[in-house]
Chain A
Amino acid sequence: MNPLAAIVAVSEMKPGRYPQYNGMEMYRQVIAQFLREWPQLRPSDIGGLLSAPAGMASADGTDVFAHEKISEELGIEPSFSETINAGGCTYALMLVRASLAIERGLCDSVLCLGAGRFPNVGSGMAEMMSKLISHPEFEYPYGTYIPPIFALNATRHMHEFGTTREQLAQVAVSQREWSLLHPDALMAPQGRLTLDKVLSSRPIAYPFNLLDCSVPSEGGSAVLVVSPKIARRYAKKPCYLFGFGEKHTHSSISQAHDLTTLGSKETSALAYRMAGVGPGDMDFAQLYDSFSINPIIYAEDLGLCAKGQGGAFFAGGRTAPGGEFPVNTYGGLMSFGHVGDASGQTMIVEAARQIMGIAGGERQLKKADLGVVHCYGGMMSEHATLVLGSQT
């Protein structure tokens, strides 16, 4: 297989509440931790820099010049740099953009940064979010907000394929099991989940109860991507990018052409073809899981099971620790924590740790040679699939 780029260093803040930090200060925290964990790095090791807007969805405004400010503080003058946004899909796209820039010789390395948060609901922020995530003129008047929008996908999936609430709940239960193996997971202190606990938690938007939903929190992460030619200078066992696919299908959920087959079908096909592999070659998957329905749809679209079989794919703990096929080995957004759009990079950090063999403890998979990551942004609007692996 032909590696397109290599991840050689990653780090992630512990998800939580950081009200004392504004958008730029969150980035400083992410970078300070990254430099602590990878003390051998120097400014000359960073040829390019990609960031997401600082302070997205915050009351004090969004800074789309984050990349300039971060580069200045790092003491670098990158030959490739910008602030980009595609919601949770941003970070998969950073890896795509970084690999293209490296391939064309714009730079040898790119530092990808994310720092996300959710706005506190109240004082008009919920209304602002609604206008941001749904059509501000034609959907917002109907009370749209994030959980019911995704519930529309779930209800339709239940209608078309007979997916059950128990199958949705199993996603939450299995992911909680993984989170118990992660020292930084937000929900790990709450302990195990059962189907009953999920099914008896407070209803939010049918078919979702509270425990079908991810946990809004704050956090961020850093990923250093370099040319495959120099990867071993930085890491004994780099995590290589072998294939990717990108697709943007809609903005407003009511205008999506399909609620149960998404852009992910096309992006995974592209990614597998580029890598020269198939879904059967994967050792694990990280599937963006704002809600319990999402990994079910992505398991189908990514070919890990047949269309309509996503519920059965998760049944009985098949994807939990010790199961046949590990999914969301860090607990996912639902149990590790949903750190705003930066959750898209949490998945990449975890996939890289598994492939680099540095996940640690019981969480480290015995076989993690090839894995697939699927991120989406917006209301399942923007899609990117990555095929990552260890050997060259």
Chain B
Amino acid sequence: MSKVAVNLKPIPEINAHSKPYWDAAQRGELMFQRCRGTGKPFMYARCWSPFDFSPDPVWEKASGLGTVFSYTIVYQPPYAAFKADCPFVMAIIQLDEGPQMMSNVLNCDPQSVRIGMKVKLCFETRDGGFKIPQFEPA
């Protein structure tokens, strides 16, 4: 009897305006948006620019490189789906392009994570093959 490991951690409910972000993730890419008026980059997905309200911000592919802006090592799981991962790292990553996003830092000893550490994009596959953007040490 073979055991199939199923990753039951959450997958997001995707909205129309954020679909390009999650579609890109399934292709192995990380996207952010740029304001058509001011040219400033931002996250998370929006229908308008938070800088000047200009509509339909442009989607742009991120380099996938970033820095740990802050982090914590989680010892007590939020709920059962994260239990096997504990201790795991939850971090705010600042992309080289500027915007910040929530992530875990995978594929390393949680104790080795530091603020200012360089990280690069990777992906975690969850239930149904759904890919979640993640980061690992660069």
The answer to whether B44 touches A135, judged by C-beta atoms less than 8 angstroms apart, is yes
Interface bin, chain A: 35 or more
Between A126, A155, A252, the greatest number of chain B beta carbons within 10 A of the residue's beta carbon is seen for A155
Max count, chain B CB within 10 A of own CB: residue among A136, A140, A203, A206: A206
Using CB atoms and an 8 Å cutoff, list the residues of chain B in contact with chain A: 9-15, 18, 43-45, 69-79, 81-82, 85, 87-88, 90-92, 100-104, 115-116, 126, 132
Q: Are A144 and B78 in contact (CB under 8 A)?
A: yes
9 contacts between A and B (CB under 8 A): A137-B13, A141-B12, A145-B79, A152-B72, A155-B72, A159-B70, A205-B75, A253-B102, A259-B69
Are A255 and B14 in contact, with the CB atoms below 8 A? no
How many pairs of residues, A versus B, come closer than 8 Å at their CB atoms?
Answer: 114
Question: Which of A137, A140, A205 interacts with B76 by CB under 8 Å?
Answer: A205
Q: Point out the residues of chain A lying under 8 angstroms from B115, CB to CB.
A: 155-156, 159
Closest CB in chain A relative to B58 CB, distance in Å: 19
Decide: B13 and A136 in contact? CB cutoff 8 A: yes
Q: What's the least CB distance linking A230 to chain B, in Å?
A: 45
Interface residues of A (CB under 8 A from B): 121, 126-127, 130, 134-145, 147-148, 151-156, 159, 202-207, 252-255, 259
Using CB atoms, name the residue of chain A closest to B22: A137
Taken together as a complex, chains A and B put the C-alpha atoms of A145 and B43 apart, in Å, by 20
- Alpha-carbon gap, A322 to B103, bound state (A): 44
Given contacts A202-B75, A255-B100, A259-B70, 17 further A-B pairs with CB under 8 A are A126-B79, A135-B102, A136-B13, A137-B14, A137-B18, A137-B45, A138-B43, A141-B11, A141-B12, A142-B102, A144-B78, A145-B79, A148-B74, A148-B90, A152-B70, A159-B70, A203-B76
Cross-chain contact B13 with A155 (CB below 8 angstroms): no
Smallest CB separation, B11 vs chain A (Å): 7
Whole-angstrom CA separation of A376 from B32 in the bound complex: 30
- Whether B72 pairs with A143 at a CB distance below 8 angstroms is no
CB contact under 8 A between A137 and B102, given known A143-B90, A159-B115, A203-B75? no
Tell me the bound Cα distance from A138 to B69 in angstroms: 17
* Closest CB in chain B relative to A157 CB, distance in Å: 9
Among B9, B72, B75, B76, max chain A CB count under 10 A is at: B72
**Closest chain A residue to B115, Cβ basis:** A159
The answer to whether B85 touches A147 (Cβ under 8 A) is: no
* B82: A residues at CB distance < 8 A: 143
> Which one of B10, B15, B72, B92 lies within 8 Å of A206 (CB-CB)?
B72
Most A C-beta atoms less than 10 A away, residue of B44, B81, B126: B44
| Min C-beta distance of B69 to chain A, whole Å | 7
Q: Which of B69, B70, B82, B101 has the most CB of A within 10 A?
A: B70
Query: With A141-B9, A141-B10, A254-B102 as given contacts, are A156 and B78 in contact (CB-CB < 8 Å)?
Result: no
